[in-house]
Each structure stands twice: as structure tokens, then as C-alpha cells.
Structure 1
Amino acid sequence: MKRKILPSLVLAALVFGYTMLCTLNAAAESIQVNPIVGISPDFIKGADISMLKQLEMTGSKFYDDNGVARDCMEILKEHGINWVRLRIWNNPEVNGLEVGGGNTDEAKALEMAARAKKLGMKVLIDFHYSDWWADPGKQNKPAAWANHSGKQLEKDVYEFTKKVMQDFKARGIMPEMVQIGNELNNGMLWPEGQLTGSNAGGYKVFAGLVKAGLRAVRDVDSEHYTKLMIHLANGGDNGLYRSFFDEMTKNQKVNDFDIIGLSYYPVWHGTLEQLQNNMNDISARYNKDVIVVETAYGFTLDNADTQKNAFGAPEEKLSGYKASVQGQATCIRNVMEAVVKVPGKKGLGIFYWEPDWIPNPQAPWKTGEGNEWENQAMFDFDGKVLESMDVFNRAADPNGRYVEAVMEEAYPVEVKASVNQSLDMPKVVSVRYSDDSVKAVPVSWNNPGTVYDKVGHYTLYGTVARTPLTATARITVDNKVNLVRNSGFEINNFDNWAIEGDTGAVNISSSSGDVRDKYALHYWADKTFKFTVKQTITGLKKGKYTLSGWTQGGGGEKSMQLFAADYGGEKLTAEIKNDGWNKWHQWTIKGIPVTSGKITIGMYNEANAGNWGSLDDVTLYIQENAIE
């Protein structure tokens, strides 16, 4: 008996010990990061730390996992960061009130690059060729070049780039990578280097500027130690990348570069699948390596200053991840995996944009304003490193523990209905998984055909597919009936709408700022275009109706109108004037006297090259007490 009992006791002890070890490990790892299959040892796990010098100069402190104040760059390295990215503005001090954003000139870049090299990190230099921020919405010439054009502007780019590279070389800290320009969707050094617009120089001038920058790096670095990059935003937009790089490589003969850089923020730049498909395509089409050179995600919806954050509740709703430390880690881990999956090992890595940008009133994006990025840093508001920073080490650990994410929570949905109107219930609900990813899952509703005969608030329940989770629908019933079908494009298509004219300029967008909920009609083209989007509604009672629609956009269209026609009278219009990204305005036509039993409503747009904007939430109501 003793010989049988002893092994049993030993086995029980081993099982208990293993269980306790797993429990302790789980407690020590409050977030889960699954390892990425096939990630290479030299995969770029980078961070743009261009704000860091300004933060340090103005008193910001950074703390490691143990709460000990340390050099931020040392903390980054301990958590797997092996590259840094540093932007260079020509002379930020000349901009007066626009000073901010770290005042990132060459002197600061040289100092930070030297520190990074000393820690064994590699360096990417990001030339903006501006005294301030340069991105798809603004590419202003530096003040010193304000009156320059043509060959003089090419010479400016060449000489500035060459001088900076020579300075780096003289200090023995040559960067391993350089990008010529930043987010060049619409060119650089406007208007001469702008791609579209009435005063734009177009691709020929722009290509000459890019070539000058590329040539300057090569002339200093004849052995090609430094890899060269051209960088666009909107990483999920394959049409943009094909249009841009087809023109640059084939027609403008710009081929002396090694890498295509992409910005990919999931709240603005499409789905992860769109990013994956774009990287797969362009890496093969142009035989270039690819890097997601900017990405980030929020770890909280809290705000530490008075500046409205770039990432908030609407962005969280669109992104596919919860705003949490776990959600931040999962998002970045999944972006890394997408890059690893690019065929032919052409996906080299990612750079997290400004993990260091914690709240500090003396390190704002612009003097007199605040920091819109602190909830997307990888340190908390007090400078303590977040556990999400572990994503860089743990995703690259071949011995890491893989845990399948499970569904944990179904988010409630909001449904609007009218008295005596059948409910239009959603076919999917958003479900949060244990890794704080959020996915659409089919749902079956209880009594989905319910019709309410009184104004009020109601609740319906349902079952989420493949799980016992309960779905909840909060229903608001009023006495208005929106007669427009697919009024907010929330089914992600143009069903019930007819589009005439330049249909290639029109698409469905899901990018935050371009939509009011999840989807909207969006338009853009690099040449002049015009289109009409319309819907005919029949079976109407005689009476007066109100039509409205919401728009946002850059403005500058030749003619843009909300219209109502075929109702029994002359066509009615409301002029639309957009005035900026994410600045939504509602346009309305009241008192439309419908006598024909039908109406055609919609939007007409005659646009200049480069015009862009969105249409969302179109409504048509019969006015109270207006029925004849």
C-alpha cells in the first residue's frame, strides 16, 4: 500500500505545485501577449521619441516597473525597443506661437541619436523639410526657403539634407535609415511640391525634390549603409499607394529608395486586413521592404489636460480594441504580426509613435495648447511605464505562452424606432474578448418584430452566436419616422442609393473623423470630378417635409448642394460649405411641399482636384401638423 500511496502523493504535490506556479505567473502577468510565429530576431521594434528631449528639459520623469526614476531610453530598451525615430524640423524657433512639438531641430536629433547609439539602438531620421509639423494636411516650406522655387528649392533640399548627414557622419553616428519627407500623400514643400490644387507643381516638381533628398544621402553615404524610405499615411488605402508609387517609380523614375513607410492608426487608416493586403501588394509590386513607421493606440479614455485628445470614445468605438492597457498591447501586437506576415520577409518592423509623450504643460503640441496624445503614450500620466510596453519583448519571445482569447462581454446597442414602426435590429453586436480586442459577432434577438405604439425607452435581449452571452438593445421610440433608407451608410455599402458621375471618387469610409458613427460616404480624387448621390422615396402622403444631411471636409469645391427634387415642384437646394476635417455641419431644407407621392433627395458635388469630405446621417421627416 505504501508503495502505491507515495507516488500518488508525489503526483498530487507536483500537480498542486504546477497549478500554483501557473496561478502566480498569471498574477504576475496581468495582461496577455501571445508570441508571434516567425518573427525575426532583428525585427524592428521602434519608437519615435522626438518629444523626449523637450520633456526632459522641462522636468518630466520616467519610472520603470519598480517605480524607480530612470532614463526613459533605458526603460524603452529594457522593454524591447531596438530602434528610435527622430524627426528634424529646419528651424522651429522662427514660428513664434507655433513653437511646440518638441522643437525638434538637428541639434536635438544629434544628441538623442548619440544616446540611442550608446545604448545599442539603431536610428531612423525623419526629415520634415519644414519648421513645424508636416503631414498630409500641411507641408509648409521652412521660412528660410519661403520665396524659393524650382531648381533653387531642389538645391535647398539637397544642401540641407547633405549638411545634416555630414554632421551625423562626423560624429560617428550615421543613421541606419532616413526618410525623405513625412507622410507625403499630398507632396511636400507646398505649393511647388504639392501634388494637387490650382497652384500645385504636381508630381514632376515633387519628384525632383524627393530625388534631391535621396541623392544627398547617397552622396554622403556612398557605401549605402543608410537605408532610404518614402513614407505615406493611410496605411490601409491600397488605391492611394498604387496611385502614388506607380507615378513615382514608373513615370518620374524615382527608384533609388529601399523602403515604403506606412502610417497606420486603426482609428483613422482602415482595418488590419486592409493594412495587411496593402503591405502584401506594394512590397511585391515595387519590390520594396515595408515598415509601419507610425502606429499607436490609447490605454485609457481619460484626459490629463484641457486639450481634447486625438483618441476618445468615438475612436475607441471604431478601432476594434478596448481603450485599456491590455487593448493597447493587443493592438500593437496584432500590427506587429501583420508586418511579420508580409511575404518574402519584406515586413521589417514597426515604430510606435511617441510612447514617451506624457502630460507636461511645457511640452505641448503647440505653444498655448496642450498634449492630445498622452492617453496613447506607453507610460501613465505620472510617467510610470505601462505593462503594455512588454508587448515588444513578449511578442518576440518564441517560448511565450499562447492563450486563445475568449468572448467575455457583449456591448449594448442603441436602436432608434418610431411609433408603430417595425424594428430594424442589427445583425451583429460588438463583443469584447479576453485580450480586449472587440469584434462583430452575429446575434439572435428575442421578438425582433416587436412594434411599439407609444413613445418611450425599451429594452430587448438576444443571444450572441457561439456563446451564452446575452445581448442588450436599448430602444428609443419617438414619433418621427426617418424615410431615408440606409441613411447613415451603417451597413457599409450604398444599398438604396444611386451614384452617378465619377463613381471612382466615392467610397465608404470607416475612419474616425470621416464618420459620425461607424461608416459614411466619402469622396476624394486627384483630378477634377463630379458626382450625384441620390435616393428616390415613394408612397409619401401629401404634406411638408424636412430634409437634412451632415457633411465635413476640406472645402474648396466648385459647387456642392443638398437637394430635393421630383416632389411636385421645382428643385430645392441648400449650399454646402465645408471648412475642415471632422468639423461636421448639418444642412437642411425645410417645408418641402410633397404633392406627387414621391421625392428624390441627395447631394451633388462638382469638385476640384484633391477635394475631399464626407456625407452622413441623411434624414427626411414629415413635419408635424403639415399633412394636407
Structure 2
Amino acid sequence: MDYYRSIFLVLFFISLISCSEGKDEVDQPLIMIEKKMTFRGADLSAYPQIASRNLNFLNHNSDVEDFLSILKKSGVNIIRLKLWVNPTDRVASLSEVEDFSTHIRSKGYQIWLTLHYSDTWADPGHQEKPKAWQNISYEQLKDSVREYTKKVVATLRPEIIQIGNEINNGFLFPDGNLHSNEIQCIELLQIASEAVRQTNAASKIMIHYAGHSGSNSFFQKMANVDYDFIGLSYYPIWHGKDLNTLAGRMNELSNSFGKQLLIAETAYPFTLGWNDYTNNIVGLESQIILPDFPPTGLGQANFFKALYTKILEVEDGIGICYWGGELVAFDGPTSQNGSPWENQALFDFTLKSLPILKEFNPQK
């Protein structure tokens, strides 16, 4: 780490000098360090539905270009996809994810799969069992988790697989509630992990936690689960606005548990405005980091650069994934059921590439 800190300091002062020479601010890296990011991801779970709207996305030259090609040329090398067990429609189903994964691989991307173990969204407050598993015994649930996980891994063979999504409080409630049924929660995670290892040893297993507060005690409970990566969600609106505090916690986790670490989800607004009538997740100045990262294209890019750099400063920090980058206002300007993330996407309201895309691989 002393070597990287020395490189960091030298290049930081060089960057300060070069910034004074009047080069376009958007193209200036906030900080450059020698280490490279292994996984540079974007969660594109909603893209199959958005693609059906035949939108014209624009590259940095304002030319129409294939959406996935724009991201690939920008340095994105892995696509994160959610998977639901038996959704009410084809969205996030195994058949949709399989088709999209085949297309993604043809474009040269790796696959990062998020098993929600639910028929709908799973997060710290919602970990509902799939409907088909709700009235079965615990022994039957273990068999279901094992066989389902094997089937998914055999079908998709992902480079990264999360066994659960944001499982701060466990998953598959109530059987896998970490607080009321800790032994069962750990056993279910062990079964899922074993199923991955037995089916495709090359898949790296991630345990995903939302935020960083309380993460130390959570990962202590994961000591008997076989996994490779620690994944954290980080959104300033929910997880605090101090990147130094986040960086300190990432270092603690890496040092304490000997795991490689990734930011599995993050996003930031390029505007506080809106492009449809759907209420946005972020729309107030109190929800973002001011004055460091204003809600502009450059502010969004600099937030991402700063977070990217914090990860690289962690000895075992190897990856980042941007969430909702595809979630433009796809349903039209008056839709009340459109995108609550369009002001945090990777494309502006004209569907042109934003400066943040230049920061996915600043060292290329």
C-alpha cells in the first residue's frame, strides 16, 4: 500500500499542475493511480424492456450508436442482471435473462448475476419467498434453493453470482431471517454457495450488503459461508455523504475478512430535473453531496471518479457497478409509470452519453 500511496501523491500533484493549463474540465481525471479496476460494471436489468421502445442513443459525438456498443467502448466490461424465480410476467425471468445474457456475451461482456430468491424485488426490508416456496417445509426449502441455484448456474454460467440481493437482514423470510433464524439463514446461504461451486467452480460468489453501517458485524456472521467477494451498495441518499467514511469501512472489511471488495450498486444525478411525470428517487439538494458534486453532468462524473478512486485505494478493491444507467424516461414525457431514475442515468434527456461514461476506464 505504501507504493500505491506514493504513486497517488505524485500523480495527484501532476494532475493539479495540468488542470491549470486550461484543458477541458470534463476530460480531466480527478485522480489517476496505477492500479486498474478489474470489474467495471453497469446493471442493465431493465434494458430488454427499454430496447423494445427502439430509442436512439447517442455517443459522445452525438451520433446514433448501439447502446451496448457505447458502454463497451467506454470501458464497461461486465453487465449485472437481476433474476427473479417466478415473476408474474417475463421480466427478470430465467428465459429473459438467458436470452439477454447470450446477446451480452456476443458483445464481449461478462455476466454478473443477482439471485433475488424472490418473485419480485428483494432488499433489506423485502425478502419475500417465491410464491411456489411459501407453503413448503424448511427441508423442502433447502432442496428448492439447491436445485434452483444449480439450474441457474448451469444455464447462465456467470462470472459473478450474488446469492441474495442486499441481504442485511437475511433472505427468504421468515425461514432465512438473519435476526430471528440466523442458523437457518446461514445454512441456506451455505447450500446456495455449495450449489454454485458444484455446478461451475469458475463463478465467483458475492455476498451483498446495502450500505456500510453495521457491515462489520454482518460479515462476521458470514464466517462459515464459502464466498469470494464482498459487495456493498452505496447511495448518498441512504448511506451517508462522506466518501472518506465509506473508504475507511471498505478498508476495514477487506482487512478483517480477507475478501476482495466491490461496490455492487451506486448512482448519482446529473440534474435534479425530470423527464417524465414519475416521481424520482433523488430530486432534492439535501439528498446529494454538495458542494463537492453538484447535480450536473460534470458533478455526476466527478462523484463516480471519486468513488472509483476510493475503491482502488483499498488493497483488495476490484470493482464497481453503476445502477439504473439504462433507466431513461422510456415511457414518454407524461408517464406516471415510467422511470424514477432518469435523472441518474448514463444518458441525458436527449439520450446523449454523459461525461460519466468516460470515467469507467480512465486509464485506457
TM score, norm. by length of structure 2: 0.88
The answer on 1:227 being equivalent to 2:204 is yes
The answer on 1:76 being equivalent to 2:71 is yes
User: Where in structure 2 are the equivalents of 1:200-349 lying within 5 Å?
Assistant: 200=180, 202-221=181-200, 224-235=201-212, 237=213, 240-249=214-223, 253-254=224-225, 256-270=226-240, 271-313=242-284, 314-316=286-288, 320-343=292-315, 346-349=316-319
1:142 Cα deviation from its structure 2 partner: 1.2
1:124 Cα deviation from its structure 2 partner: 0.8
| SS in structure 2 at match of 1:69 | coil
Deviation by residue 1:252-292 (Cα, 9 ceiling, x = unmatched): x22x1111100011222122112111111111111111000
| SS in structure 1 at match of 2:358 | helix
User: Where in structure 2 are the equivalents of 1:25-174 lying within 5 Å?
Assistant: 26=24, 30=26, 32-40=28-36, 43-93=38-88, 103-168=91-156, 174=157
Quick check: 1:31–1:326 contact (8 Å CA) kept in 2? Answer: no
| SS in structure 2 at match of 1:357 | coil
Deviation by residue 1:19-55 (Cα, 9 ceiling, x = unmatched): xxx76x52xx645333421222x52211111111110
Deviation by residue 1:31-87 (Cα, 9 ceiling, x = unmatched): 5333421222x5221111111111012333322223333221111011111111111
* Separation of aligned partners in 2, 1:373 and 1:145: 32
User: Where in structure 2 are the equivalents of 1:313-392 lying within 5 Å?
Assistant: 313=284, 314-316=286-288, 320-343=292-315, 346-361=316-331, 369-392=337-360
Quick check: 1:339–1:348 contact (8 Å CA) kept in 2? Answer: yes
* Separation of aligned partners in 2, 1:136 and 1:55: 27
1:141 Cα deviation from its structure 2 partner: 1.0
The answer on 1:187 being equivalent to 2:175 is no
> For the pair shown, which has the larger CA radius of gyration, 1 or 2?
1
* Separation of aligned partners in 2, 1:45 and 1:284: 22
Letter in 1 for 2:165: N
Give the structure with the higher percent helix: 2
* Separation of aligned partners in 2, 1:145 and 1:62: 41
* Separation of aligned partners in 2, 1:388 and 1:247: 36
Letter in 1 for 2:168: N
* Separation of aligned partners in 1, 2:111 and 2:79: 5
Residues 317 and 35 (structure 1), Cα distance of their counterparts in 2 relative to 1, 3 Å cut: closer
* Separation of aligned partners in 2, 1:159 and 1:181: 15
User: Where in structure 2 are the equivalents of 1:444-523 lying within 5 Å?
Assistant: none
Residues 144 and 320 (structure 1), Cα distance of their counterparts in 2 relative to 1, 3 Å cut: farther
Deviation by residue 1:298-336 (Cα, 9 ceiling, x = unmatched): 000111122221111121266842111111111111111
| SS in structure 2 at match of 1:349 | strand
* Separation of aligned partners in 2, 1:106 and 1:161: 11
> Which runs of 5 or more residues in structure 2 are unaligned?
1-20
Letter in 2 for 1:267: I
Quick check: 1:176–1:226 contact (8 Å CA) kept in 2? Answer: yes
Quick check: 1:88–1:125 contact (8 Å CA) kept in 2? Answer: yes
| SS in structure 1 at match of 2:222 | helix
1:214 Cα deviation from its structure 2 partner: 0.8
Deviation by residue 1:218-261 (Cα, 9 ceiling, x = unmatched): 1111xx211111000013x1xx1121111221xxx22x111110
* Separation of aligned partners in 2, 1:37 and 1:50: 31
Letter in 2 for 1:34: L
| SS in structure 1 at match of 2:82 | strand
Letter in 2 for 1:60: L
* Separation of aligned partners in 2, 1:58 and 1:119: 20
Letter in 2 for 1:176: E
Quick check: 1:267–1:318 contact (8 Å CA) kept in 2? Answer: no
Residues 58 and 92 (structure 1), Cα distance of their counterparts in 2 relative to 1, 3 Å cut: farther
Residues 318 and 326 (structure 1), Cα distance of their counterparts in 2 relative to 1, 3 Å cut: closer
* Separation of aligned partners in 2, 1:299 and 1:112: 28
Quick check: 1:32–1:326 contact (8 Å CA) kept in 2? Answer: no
* Separation of aligned partners in 2, 1:181 and 1:55: 25
* Separation of aligned partners in 2, 1:30 and 1:300: 16
Residues 368 and 213 (structure 1), Cα distance of their counterparts in 2 relative to 1, 3 Å cut: farther
* Separation of aligned partners in 1, 2:301 and 2:137: 45
Quick check: 2:145–2:191 contact (8 Å CA) kept in 1? Answer: yes
Letter in 2 for 1:122: Q
Letter in 1 for 2:34: G
Quick check: 1:203–1:248 contact (8 Å CA) kept in 2? Answer: no
| SS in structure 2 at match of 1:323 | coil
Structure 1 vs Structure 2 CA RMSD: 2.1
Quick check: 1:358–1:382 contact (8 Å CA) kept in 2? Answer: no
Aligned-pair identity in percent equals 36
* Separation of aligned partners in 2, 1:89 and 1:133: 8
Quick check: 1:51–1:356 contact (8 Å CA) kept in 2? Answer: yes
Letter in 2 for 1:248: M
| SS in structure 2 at match of 1:125 | strand
| SS in structure 2 at match of 1:306 | coil
Letter in 1 for 2:356: S
Match of 2:4 in 1: none
TM score, norm. by length of structure 1: 0.52
| SS in structure 2 at match of 1:178 | strand
* Separation of aligned partners in 2, 1:319 and 1:279: 24
> Which runs of 5 or more residues in structure 1 are unaligned?
1-21, 95-101, 169-173, 398-628
